[in-house]
Amino acid sequence: MSDKLIITIDREYGSGGHEVARRLAEKLGIKMYDEELISQAAFNIGYREEYVKSNDEKAPEINISPMFSGIDVFQSSPFSKIQDEEFRIIREISAKESCVIVGRAADYILSDEPHISIFIFAPVEDRIKRKLALIDINGTEPMTEAEMEKKVKQRDKQRRKYYEFYTDNKWGGRETYDVLINTSRSGINGAVAMIEAYINTAKGKDLLSDM
Amino acid sequence: MSDKLIITIDREYGSGGHEVARRLAEKLGIKMYDEELISQAAFNIGYREEYVKSNDEKAPEINISPMFSGIDVFQSSPFSKIQDEEFRIIREISAKESCVIVGRAADYILSDEPHISIFIFAPVEDRIKRKLALIDINGTEPMTEAEMEKKVKQRDKQRRKYYEFYTDNKWGGRETYDVLINTSRSGINGAVAMIEAYINTAKGKDLLSDM
């Protein structure tokens, strides 16, 4: 088994998955890719970063099936070009270096590449509270609790639709991942510690070699 | 926060949940309760152990609702007496000592008691292979792959029905647990190491105290 280590982290909005990925990558001394994928894709295909960002991790908003509108139309759209480029970058970086990749169906894109796939979640009430607390900390635009609840639910829905458009698996479904962690119970550092323990103990193991 | 440590482990049949619990309890130097609950319940209510075992972790096989047959009839049945006694024992032991409890909806029974709830799972093909391999190791009665597949699926169904009869939660659903681990990827020791890391790092943390 190679010493390369690929960790994919998908996450509910506000559950701290990005922060888990950041701290984990820092501890392991490897790179993390999240928004970095946006800027890299924008640069490569020559689109404005803002435009790529607004289409990042979204399913296409087409109301008619590609069967009717013509699959070619969809495949040559700027939208599809963004997703294709992000997927290509994910394959490229994971072929050459250890890394932590956040979201973007990376676990599915890397099905044929050995990797550890994590899903980070938390009850919606706690995620709303966390996101509201982060507004105070980061000094970003204020939001009411109701507005934040709407945003959190909308983002989850977007991520689910994106994931299930590009893969055959269920977003957040137990069977899709190696480990699922509720950060409301573990905190960010608890999740990081578990993933580290997993890496140190479980690498290359399976149920039959360790019964 | 008290130093008492209660860990509940629910599991798909053949996923190694019992073995995870056994090794974890051994490492932590605390007791594990699985079949022990059966013998203790049998002793306390004066039933034959075999009879208790045959009704253990099962939902009642009643075709009509307690509303029609009379809830009193169900509640005074030997079947109900077994479940009640097992739940009572779970509450009793967790009130007085650190322990690992396997199955029996313990996570739900202990909702008001601080505890860590784990779900152990694995793809069904791997669980069938593991159970067949264990037949050779333990020298128990041979079984074909098809027979084992039937058994594994039947046991999962039984456990789901049991769990969902006695609780308001979804058996094996992400939201029900703190951590869910696929032992096909982690092996038994990988799962044990993760839970240990969780205990050492996450205890008393939550998403807002560690953002």
pLDDT at A76 over 60: yes
Three-state secondary-structure class, residue B206: coil
Residue B136 contacts A where some CB pair is shorter than 8 Å: no
| Interchain proximity A207–B126, CB inside 8 Å | yes
Integer angstrom CA distances of residue A15 from A182, A183, B169: 8, 7, 21
Looking at residue A191, its pLDDT comes to 96
Residues of chain B contacting residue A130, judged by C-beta atoms under 8 Å apart: 207-208, 211
Residue A183 contacts B where some CB pair is shorter than 8 Å: yes
Three-state secondary-structure class, residue A22: helix
A70 pLDDT tier (thresholds 50, 70, 90): low
Helix axes B35-45, B78-96, angle to 10 degrees: 110
- Which among B181, B210, B177, B187 has a CA at the least distance from the CA of B7? B177
Looking at residue A64, its pLDDT comes to 44
pLDDT at A111 over 60: yes
Looking at residue B129, its pLDDT comes to 95
Could you say which of A19, A180, A201 has the minimum Cβ distance to residue B193? Answer: A201
| Interchain proximity A174–B121, CB inside 8 Å | yes
Residues of chain A contacting residue B173, judged by C-beta atoms under 8 Å apart: 174
The C-alpha atoms of residue B136 and residue A126 are separated, in whole angstroms, by: 48
CB-based burial of residue A112 (10 Å sphere; 0-12 exposed, 13-18 middle, 19+ buried)?
Answer: exposed
ipTM of the complex: 0.89
Looking at residue A1, its pLDDT comes to 45
| Interchain proximity B189–A181, CB inside 8 Å | no
Could you say which of B175, B177, B210 has the minimum Cβ distance to residue A187? Answer: B210
Tokens 């479904």 -> residue: A173
The C-alpha atoms of residue B136 and residue B16 are separated, in whole angstroms, by: 16
- Which among A99, A149, A132, A120 has a CA at the least distance from the CA of A20? A120
| Interchain proximity B190–A198, CB inside 8 Å | yes
Looking at residue B64, its pLDDT comes to 45
Residue B188 contacts A where some CB pair is shorter than 8 Å: yes
pLDDT tens for residues A143-162?
Answer: 999 999 999 999 999 999 99
Q: And the tokens for A30?
A: 């490897």
Looking at residue A59, its pLDDT comes to 85
Q: How many contacts (CB atoms, under 8 Å) link A and B?
A: 167
B59 pLDDT tier (thresholds 50, 70, 90): confident
Could you say which of A127, A137, A193 has the minimum Cβ distance to residue B200? Answer: A193
Looking at residue A68, its pLDDT comes to 54
Report chain B's mean pLDDT, rounded to a whole number: 88
The C-alpha atoms of residue A123 and residue A13 are separated, in whole angstroms, by: 11
Strands B179-182 and A179-182: antiparallel
Give the mean pLDDT of B51-60.
85
pLDDT at B27 over 50: yes
pLDDT tens for residues B31-54?
Answer: 999 988 888 888 888 888 888 888
Contacts of B190 (CB under 8 A, 6+ apart): A197, A198, A201, A202, A205, A210, B181, B183
The C-alpha atoms of residue A180 and residue A195 are separated, in whole angstroms, by: 10
Looking at residue B58, its pLDDT comes to 87
- With a CB-CB cutoff of 8 Å, which residues 154-173 of chain A face chain B? 172-173
pLDDT at A20 over 70: yes
Q: What share of chain A is helix, strand, coil (3-state, %, to 5)?
A: 60, 10, 30
Residue A129 contacts B where some CB pair is shorter than 8 Å: yes
A41 pLDDT tier (thresholds 50, 70, 90): confident
Looking at residue B179, its pLDDT comes to 97
Are the C-beta atoms of B120 and B191 separated by less than 8 Å? yes
| Interchain proximity B172–A174, CB inside 8 Å | yes
Which of B179, B207, B210, B211 to mutate: most A Cβ within 10 Å? B207
pLDDT over 70, % of chain A: 88
A136 pLDDT tier (thresholds 50, 70, 90): confident
CA-based end-to-end distance of chain B: 20
Give the mean pLDDT of B74-91.
82
Report chain A's mean pLDDT, rounded to a whole number: 88
Give the mean pLDDT of A113-127.
95
pLDDT at A63 over 60: no
